[in-house]
Structure 1
Amino acid sequence: MPFALYMLGLAVFAQGTSEFMLSGLGPDIAADLDVSLSTASTLTSAFAVGMVIGAPVMAVLSRRWPRRTALLAFLVAFLLVHVVGALTTSFAVLLATRVVGALANAGFLAVALVTAVAMVEPHAKGRATSALLGGVTIACVAGVPGGALLGQFWGWRSAFWAVALVSLPAVLAILRSVPAGAPDAAVTGVRGELRSLREPRLGVTLLLGALVNGATFCTFTYLAPLITDVAGFREAWVPALLALFGVGSFLGVTLAGRFADRRPVPFLLGGAALLLAGWVLFAVTAANPVAAVALVLVQGALSFGVGSALITQVLYAATRAPTLAGGFATAALNVGAAIGPVGGGIALSAGLGHRSPLWVSALLVALALLVGAVALLSRRQAPSGNESRWSSPQVNSATQRRG
């Protein structure tokens, strides 16, 4: 893998840390800025909304820039808003920095996904995607617990400074190692790319990505009370188990990078079936500490393995949207990250107990399997002239070589 790809992954690590670290900093921010905890929690919601809106919008706006220019602009903006966030004493300003930071994050990830797959061979998109998204999983392992520790020892502002400092070497490396390239607007028209959303394979893959990621973040958001109130662990164990989930996610992304390019359909079907079984088993055995530890690791691996493979398939399927494919994938993931916690919260508010997010996760994956099965059945029954819509990446690449 090219060195520049790992530098993109470093930037994604900083952005993933920023996205998730507020889960442990909310009380300190609320106390320091004299707002309620519920008000402080809107910082997380603002970031999520900014990511959903920002991915396609920023991808469209940056099409007239060379990719290196777009990556640098988004990353520098992301760095600067964290400096402002670390310095401000106004909650309104901090909230604004979260929105702007999310827009910059979304734009960077959308362009980075397309840039990453352009750096490698046509059959290596899965490995490129896993190298990039490895930054998110490492953020779960080290960045989020690290941000919480910084907040405990030096205050919440230190976590914002840390994100800015980690972003700085990525800025320098991208400036030196990412090819300038030509503006994407010169490649294809935006209307044609947006029309590609009507293609069945792309639309279905985006929906599956949203559902699987929704299941992941449904449980991840409420993992702490599940660990303490159901499995019986002390609160001191929560950071370690969150980090264990991150270790599993890193293993899953790595595994997806090796196999998702070669046999995507068996990998996705088998992985999704195991993921569904794992959520059900977790819900049934959550009171057993040993089972809870094992399933935190396993479900982290399966969730991110299947999710990463689906992102790869979006990039393969978006043959008519080469410049907006990353925006489509990023938006789908963040739609899932938004609906999952809402579903878990509704279940908890209904008095269904701390296991209920696990059942909601299982329901979302079951729905994804149903949608995937219907799509496969439709592909098999489609007239021969339409089969290319659903053909595998290998078949598409072979067809392009022959052309």
Structure 2
Amino acid sequence: MSPPVQRSAKRHLGLAILSLAMGGFAIGTTEFAMMGLLKEVEEGLAIRTPEAGNLISAYALGVVIGAPVFAAFGAKLPRKHLALGLMLFLSVANLTSFIAPDYGLMLVSRFASGLPHGAFFGVAAVIAASLVAPTKRGWAISMVMAGLTVSNVIGVPLATWVGQTFGWRLLFVIVGAIGLGTVAMVWKFVPFEPVHPEASIRRELGALKRLQVWLALLIGIIGFGGFFAVYTYIAHTMTSVAGIPENFIPAVVALYGVGMVVGNIIGGRIADRSVMGTIYFVMPGIAVALVVYAIAANWALRGWWGIEFVSLKTRGPVALLG
């Protein structure tokens, strides 16, 4: 293969993975920006904090239900077509959130928005892994997931700022536009692969007979459960507990996102060496980070040039969520 052809192949590979990562960017923006705009959502829908938190839970419930359902019933579809359908579904669901007139319909639309989440990441990861050599599959999958983490550096802070400045419902228009852009990119750059001749719903669901699959799911449930329990109320924690001004929330979620991007890149690299070793390292790290967060949230960093830590009186979880 001549060098120009090699460069062309690499460019098309990069664009294909970028297309899939764009889908992750859209998903990450709609998932995480709601957490930074929770106060605005409460005021806009005239609801209390626990009810606003239910909008996050409704999305999460959609993820839990949609992932196995779409994966099973999409087994007979070409992977590219499944990815296109899932992203189109996400775009339409977010646009319905934009026009939802009350809390009940918003709850339904957020549930619908979560349905394609897990299945898209699953099919996108499989597509990305199929485009590279076996020794680079960890890297390819991490690049797809980078869309989710980069959204926390760019998409979430931007959507949070737009929501605080021009109205929180514009978040869903932004996500809908990104989703439709992703549909166009996937259609253009992701290569078509025919369906595996043995693909079937029974084969997909047959994986649930294995204990290892349930243990892997349990790891994800516990690990992500702790993460999202913290991130859901990040706006309230930063303003009500740490005493940070509300207009600093976009910067806070951006900083959170930088950590996710760095961790994702490092995790993808070391996963190519040892998947289980990476898990053994990452999961305790998450536990330590969450404990440190719970302690550090009671201290605000004040001053631009000299570092001064100021202890703040914690209101407590009951007052915070009430």
Tell me if both proteins adopt one fold, taking TM over 0.5 as the criterion.
yes
SS of 1:64's partner is: coil
Report whether the alignment pairs 1:246 with 2:215.
Answer: no
- Which residue of structure 1 lines up, in the alignment, with residue 277 of structure 2? 266
CA RMSD of aligned residues (A): 2.9
Superimposed CA distance per residue, residues 226-269 of structure 1 (whole angstroms, 9 cap, x where no aligned partner): 44455453444333222211100000000011111112333332
The one-letter code of the counterpart of 1:87 is I
Q: Kindly state the Cα deviation for residue 100 of structure 1 after the two structures are TM-superposed.
A: 2.2
Selected match of 2:231 from 220, 245, 257: 220
Is the CA contact (8 Å cut-off) linking 2:100 and 2:109 kept in structure 1?
no
- Which residue of structure 2 lines up, in the alignment, with residue 54 of structure 1? 66
- Which residue of structure 2 lines up, in the alignment, with residue 106 of structure 1? 118
- Which residue of structure 2 lines up, in the alignment, with residue 44 of structure 1? 56
- Which residue of structure 2 lines up, in the alignment, with residue 83 of structure 1? 95
- Which residue of structure 1 lines up, in the alignment, with residue 157 of structure 2? 145
The one-letter code of the counterpart of 1:54 is G
Superimposed CA distance per residue, residues 75-100 of structure 1 (whole angstroms, 9 cap, x where no aligned partner): 11221232333234354443333222
The one-letter code of the counterpart of 2:177 is L
Identity of aligned residues (%): 31
Superimposed CA distance per residue, residues 30-51 of structure 1 (whole angstroms, 9 cap, x where no aligned partner): 5545656654543322211111
Q: Kindly state the Cα deviation for residue 279 of structure 1 after the two structures are TM-superposed.
A: 3.6
The one-letter code of the counterpart of 1:233 is I
- Which residue of structure 1 lines up, in the alignment, with residue 106 of structure 2? 94
SS of 1:141's partner is: coil
Is the CA contact (8 Å cut-off) linking 1:2 and 1:119 kept in structure 2?
no
Structure 1 residues 212 and 270 mapped into 2: Cα distance closer, same or farther (>3 Å)?
same
The one-letter code of the counterpart of 1:8 is L
Instruction: Measure the CA separation in 1 of the matches of 2:37 and 2:284.
Output: 36
Structure 1 residues 95 and 278 mapped into 2: Cα distance closer, same or farther (>3 Å)?
closer
Selected match of 2:206 from 195, 198, 203: 195
Instruction: Measure the CA separation in 2 of the matches of 1:191 and 1:144.
Output: 38
Is the CA contact (8 Å cut-off) linking 2:36 and 2:235 kept in structure 1?
no
Selected match of 2:317 from 348, 354, 361: 348
The one-letter code of the counterpart of 1:10 is M
SS of 1:182's partner is: coil
Q: Kindly state the Cα deviation for residue 24 of structure 1 after the two structures are TM-superposed.
A: 3.7
- Which residue of structure 2 lines up, in the alignment, with residue 168 of structure 1? 180
Q: How many residues align?
A: 296
- Which residue of structure 2 lines up, in the alignment, with residue 211 of structure 1? 222
Instruction: Measure the CA separation in 1 of the matches of 2:131 and 2:163.
Output: 37
The one-letter code of the counterpart of 1:241 is V
The one-letter code of the counterpart of 2:224 is N
Selected match of 2:166 from 144, 151, 154: 154
Is the CA contact (8 Å cut-off) linking 2:29 and 2:152 kept in structure 1?
yes
SS of 2:108's partner is: helix
Instruction: Measure the CA separation in 1 of the matches of 2:210 and 2:182.
Output: 36
Is the CA contact (8 Å cut-off) linking 1:141 and 1:246 kept in structure 2?
yes
Structure 1 residues 246 and 203 mapped into 2: Cα distance closer, same or farther (>3 Å)?
same
| TM-score relative to the length of structure 2 | 0.80
| TM-score relative to the length of structure 1 | 0.65
Q: Kindly state the Cα deviation for residue 53 of structure 1 after the two structures are TM-superposed.
A: 0.3
Instruction: Measure the CA separation in 2 of the matches of 1:101 and 1:283.
Output: 30
Structure 1 residues 85 and 285 mapped into 2: Cα distance closer, same or farther (>3 Å)?
closer
Report which of the two has the higher share of helix: 1
Instruction: Measure the CA separation in 2 of the matches of 1:86 and 1:6.
Output: 27
Instruction: Measure the CA separation in 1 of the matches of 2:77 and 2:127.
Output: 13
Structure 1 residues 263 and 233 mapped into 2: Cα distance closer, same or farther (>3 Å)?
same
The one-letter code of the counterpart of 1:135 is G
SS of 1:63's partner is: coil
Is the CA contact (8 Å cut-off) linking 1:67 and 1:115 kept in structure 2?
yes
Q: Which runs of 5+ in 2 are unaligned?
A: 1-12, 302-315
Instruction: Measure the CA separation in 1 of the matches of 2:102 and 2:294.
Output: 42
Structure 1 residues 83 and 236 mapped into 2: Cα distance closer, same or farther (>3 Å)?
closer
SS of 1:152's partner is: helix
Q: Which runs of 5+ in 1 are unaligned?
A: 291-346, 355-403
